[in-house]
Amino acid sequence: MRIAGFTALLLAGLGFAGGRPGQAALSPEEIYEKTAPSVLTLEVENSDHERFVGAAFLALRPGLAVTAWHVVHDAQKIEAWFSDRRRAKIVGLVAKDEKLDLALIEIEANDRPRTVLSTNTPRIGAKAFVIGAPKGMDFSIADGLISQVREFEGVCQYQLSCPISPGNSGGPVLNDLGEVVGIVSWRKAGVQNLGFAVPSLEVLRLDSRRPAVPWPVRVLGKGDSFSEKGTLNGERVKSDPRGLAEFRQALAELAGTRVTLTLETGGAVQSFNFEAPPAEHGASSPLKE
């Protein structure tokens, strides 16, 4: 009993919450007002100088934000801001786990409120809310259900019916108490409202006490703290507003018409003229957003 009590106190100190019987559910308006001040929009520039948007949220301790690893893994530069348009300086990467698709980043925002992470597995059918920047529309809230709890390559995932688009990744999945139950990770391409989130308790697997490593984070050795752990799903592809998935979709919408494609690589420019092919039926691959 003492051990259980100590664990409960430790989780409470870290900003985790279990179910509290009799606590009234919040309205969507109240959930947004409670959580939005802790959510960040991230604009990332990668090593190919492509820019795309993701999300993050404050948790655990002052100045620490949780996001999806695939959002920041190749970042050369990151800009971040809150819903009140206040900018936040990114100090660096604290910890990450590629298999879980989670990352902890240090930011200069010690005076901001933090989210509460839930210790409970949500019931199937429970209401869920996501806050993020779908297609760059920052600080948008959407709702849905916890459709199912699934396992992929040994990693537990929450299946969501909430609408998820590029820009939602790394954002919080909230229950009706405004607690974070998961972190948006990926969706199934070509399917309506079939997304997945990493349970919030998995954040405890990351060491939040490490000093931040400034960006850009270099590729480190096999024995290093940030060595890769493999991928949750080898076919997942990061999707950004100008990414491969959007290109394929645009090409499919032009099926049967003549198009000109200009390809620039290493300063060399090539142009191709061809008839856009029809979309492949049944093709579906999971995309990180």
In the annotation, is 169 catalytic? yes
Determine which one of 73, 97, 101, 240 is catalytic. Answer: 101
**77, 80, 51: which is closest to 65 by C-alpha?**
80
Q: Return d(Cα 249, Cα 278) in angstroms, integer.
A: 10
**82, 106, 98: which is closest to 226 by C-alpha?**
98
Cα 200 to its chain centre, rounded Å, is: 12
- 97 burial (CB, 10 Å; 0-12 / 13-18 / 19+) is buried
Determine which one of 118, 140, 165, 169 is catalytic. Answer: 169
Q: Which two tokens stand for residue 119?
A: 């210790």
Determine which one of 70, 73, 140, 147 is catalytic. Answer: 70
Pairing of β 237-238 and β 140-152: unpaired
Q: What is the DSSP letter of 5?
A: H
Q: Return d(Cα 272, Cα 115) in angstroms, integer.
A: 50
Using alpha carbons, list the distances in angstroms from residue 218 to 50, 134, 166.
18, 29, 25
Q: Which two tokens stand for residue 112?
A: 């901001």
In the annotation, is 101 catalytic? yes
Pairing of β 117-118 and β 16-17: parallel
Residues with catalytic function: 70, 101, 169
